[in-house]
Chains A and B, each alone.
Chain A
Amino acid sequence: MGTPYRVKGNTGDWEVVIGLEVHAQITSESKLFSGAAVGFGAETNQNVSFVDAGMPGMLPVINEKCIEQAVRTGLGLGAQINLTSVFDRKNYFYADLPQGYQISQFLDPIVGKGELIIDLAGGEQRTIGVTRLHLEQDAGKSLHEHSPKFTFIDLNRSGVALMEIVSEPDMRSPEEAGAYLKKLRTIVQYLGTCDGDMDKGNLRCDANISVRKPGAELGTRCEIKNVNSVKFVMKAIEFEAQRQVEIIEAGGVIEQETRLFDATTGETRTMRSKENAHDYRYFPDPDLLPLIFTQEYVDAIRATLPELPDQKRARYVADLGLSPYDAGVLVAEKATTEYFERLSATHDPKLVSNWMTGELFGRLNKLGVDIEQSPISSEQLGGLLALIEDNTISGKIAKTVFEQMCETGKPAKQIVADEGLVQVTDTGAIDAAIDAVMAENADKLAEYRSGKDKLFGFFVGQVMKATGGKANPAMLNDLLKKKLS
């Protein structure tokens, strides 16, 4: 266990308690209760059916694909799947809420308790409870930028299926909250139930934050709405915890309220206080019957679940011999895992892992891009690894080739050929080089033979230098040992 995260106050250390509510847009062709298309970047009000626009007499009909996706996600979180769940109406007025209510699930959600393992720095893991997952429809969007006087409404998002995944208040630091969000994103991406793209708003997070003296009763919480990146969630928590500590230490009390995070200032501010809180007047939606399905249906979905990150990581350690840390890094993003698995199918997994976590990630970091924008495709890297594995080049030379691949985009094989970097595996040539080095360094040879073993490295270096670095290191070692003894 690392040192627990503490907010330093005048009266001592404070502990922060965090619960997250994540809204994950379901990957589906059409909306939760209508046949309208779901698509990012469509023209304003292009993907709107009469149901989504709340026209008189229109009725919702459940999209079975969305149900399947929710069950799939629940199974991926090891959660209890409720064979009976109920859709409720959450009533409130807003211009971008066409029906005047949101169809959601309140008392009886489709998925109950589950859990999620988060991965912390240094390979440490913690389990965070998931309280529930429920289905709900998204609202539309108010556009204020087109006119100083009017608000325009885009209903493309109206009715889009969301999963609201609510955690237990089990997190104790911004790092843990960030890790939770990342892990959740990875899992839904593995499952194919949500694209997990926070930039496109299809994964959004509300954070519930309170502070307390370590071990004391839970404090009053504030909810920070709609934070749209892992980094911002962590920053918002950091700021909010500090703010709450300062208020309490100054003799104030925390009012339960909803706050917004301002990414430009890094601060949170009041959105609405409890007195202005909505009375949503939830009640079961009379247009929809309770959602009932069978255990067989759930089991059939379970049978199609992919290998999830935790299982994959365990397999990489046990079967491929990777270190838990490296395995964790490789499974953390779906795209990374896919890259790894494409290569490890035909190359030594450990070699692949070393190259990915070393050279490749170093390069991606430097470029500030993720693996999907990698300048070196898995196929290209495979070309390089093949040259290492068939002894055409040494690992050391491979690093030079890798650099050139990144710069020029040329295949490894071509670079090696053009630059004449082919490894020397001709024993005669290596022998000759050794003989020359031994001749030139008679004094060092004498020292070595009189017991100064450490000079072995010196000879290796000299021979390597003489061969322009191209001598096969293993062969060089063998031959040198023979000659020196």
Chain B
Amino acid sequence: MSANPTHMTLAEARDALAGKKISSVELTQSHLDAIARHNPALNAYVHHTPEIALAQAKASDEKRARGEAVGLLEGIPIGVKDLFCTKGVNSQAASKILTGFKPEYESTVTSNLFAHGAVMLGKTNMDEFAMGSANITSVYGPCVNPWRRSGEPEVKLVPGGSSGGSSAAVAARLGFMATGTDTGGSIRQPAAFTGIVGIKPTYGRCSRWGVVAFASSLDQAGPMTRTVRDAAISLQAMAGHDPKDSTSAIQSVPDFEAVLANGVKGLKIGIPKEYRIDGMSAEIAAAWDKGAAILKAAGAEIVPVSLPHTAYALPTYYIIAPAEASSNLARYDGVRFGLRVSEDGDSLNDMYEKTRAAGFGAEVKRRILIGTYVLSAGYYDAYYKKAQRVRALIAQDFTQAFTQCDVILTPTAPSDAFVIGENQDDPVAMYMNDVFTIPASLAGLPGLALPIGLSKAGLPLGLQLIGRAFDEETVFRAAEAIERGAGFNAAPEGY
């Protein structure tokens, strides 16, 4: 056991708790202390729930002392993205329009985690309504990546987005796990930028009930952890069919941790040629090759595959996601909860306009406008309907590719973490961050990001594994092999 309890992995902490080497209260307190020390600089946690954490930890210790059956995450301190509704705790989706909103209900995913014994340290920062790739659109201000470029300790980098608070918290050891949500890459890209593991499971694997919606047909919750094993354990605790979510799949949840031992011998790893995009940096390309080499060395076969509609994924996504968002965000109207801005004599429309103008940030407004436009009469066929057809073709590409391979290996993001403020006025450049993650999102497939090495600047670089629908097991097996082969053990300094 490491001297600092926060430096353990989730699996190590679980074993330490089971072996009575540490109590959950001690583990939790060490995290609360770390948060107190580091969070002011990182802004990773935006709502702190130490009372809840200590109460849950105490209850967990007592349960263990009574010898009762324990959950997969029994006594494990975690962070929860602000997008999840947590009963009686601020759940604001990092938006001004939900100022003061404390739901009377608990999201299914957090309910599952708590049922498995997890301890909630607080709510983590994110891009407003999960729209962004840098965690700079939050009403709480930007979250800061705990990593620094070598030789540039003053330059603050983004932790990725939208689950930037979760990625920063896990990378800085302010939680063994944090929940993320991924619509076009919001778990995978921040995982890559902070050198951690993040998996967006198959659409339908985790319930969306109680998760503030961005784009319903794409949103999916998943865990962000420091190891593949921790991700496997966490996903098993989060997932499962939920009758309250009509799109939740009726699928049993496998023992993801158990399959890690199976190795990759005989697996076919697809390398899609279309992901080698123009201007890809040499170090990203090299990291990709390294991942393939590791898998090959572990007994897998590398096969070239083609995903011919890849180039259309980004524009397709930026029609479908804003379209759904424009509709999903219509409920924030100042009538029933959150912010209301109105003056005497205002009409209903005045109130809507003032409330929404003051409550939504620029990026959210941009996407609402795009979404409203692409759905409007006369444009629906040209944009939304066509995008849905392209989406089907993209999904077909994967189906085709998976006749030749078992899992697909790609880079996660086109670059390492960038400086806060960079690209901020260039939305299209910002959207390019998700170029590798979006196709799997459109196809509803599981995608896992994990670190493979460091860039020349000393920052983590990530790879992505994409699997067949509901075949997270193969994704985890391949990820475990890469993790083992890469031996990535770098950590941000000072945490």
Contacts and interface: CB of A to CB of B under 8 A. Distances in A.
Interface of A: 50, 53-62, 89, 91, 93-95, 98-101, 151, 153, 279, 281-283, 286-289
B101 A281 contact: no
Contacts, number: 100
Contacts of A281: 326-327, 372, 375-377, 380
B105 A50 contact: yes
A175 to B, nearest CB: 37
Closest 8 CB pairs of A and B: A100-B330, A286-B216, A286-B217, A281-B375, A54-B331, A57-B210, A56-B212, A57-B85
Nearest to A87: B246
Nearest to B93: A56
B327 A95 contact: no
A148 to B, nearest CB: 12
Interface stretch (B69-77, B332-340, B406-414): B332-340
A456 to B, nearest CB: 80
Interface residues of B, number: 44
B330 A93 contact: yes
Contact of B330 (A53, A99, A283): A99
Contacts of A61: 243-246
A283 B375 contact: yes
Given A50-B104, A279-B376, A95 B211 contact: no
Nearest to B320: A286
Interface string B64-98: 00000000000000000000110000010100001
A323 to B, nearest CB: 53
B296 interface: no
Given A95-B335, A283-B375, A56 B246 contact: no
B331 A56 contact: yes
Nearest to A278: B377
Nearest to A54: B331
Contacts of A282: 375, 380
Contact of A57 (B103, B349, B375): B103
A56 B101 CA distance: 10
A424 B130 CA distance: 93
Given A56-B91, A59-B209, A279-B377, A98 B246 contact: no
Contacts of A59: 208-209, 244-246
B193 interface: no
A289 B336 contact: no
B352 interface: yes
A152 B349 CA distance: 16
Contacts of A153: 335
A50 B101 CA distance: 14
B49 interface: no
Interface of B: 84-85, 91, 93, 98, 101, 103-105, 107, 208-213, 215-217, 243-247, 323-324, 326-327, 329-331, 333, 335-337, 348-349, 352, 372, 375-377, 380, 384
B247 A57 contact: no
Given A61-B246, A279-B376, A283-B375, A56 B85 contact: yes
Nearest to A92: B330
A460 to B, nearest CB: 77
A321 to B, nearest CB: 54
A56 B376 contact: no
Contacts of A62: 246
Contact of B327 (A50, A53, A101): A101
Contacts of A50: 104-105
A239 B234 CA distance: 68
A67 to B, nearest CB: 13
Contacts of A101: 327, 330
B216 A287 contact: yes
A151 B348 CA distance: 9
A91 B216 contact: no
Contacts of B246: 59-62, 287-289
Given A281-B377, A283-B323, A283-B380, A57 B213 contact: yes
B348 A95 contact: yes
A54 B336 contact: yes
A98 B331 contact: yes
Contact of B215 (A55, A60, A94, A286): A286
A288 B101 CA distance: 26
Nearest to B384: A283
Contacts of B331: 54, 56, 98-100
Contacts of A287: 208, 213, 216, 246-247
Nearest to A90: B327
Contacts of B105: 50, 55, 57
Nearest to A62: B246
B461 to A, nearest CB: 33
A55 B212 CA distance: 9
Contacts of B85: 56-57
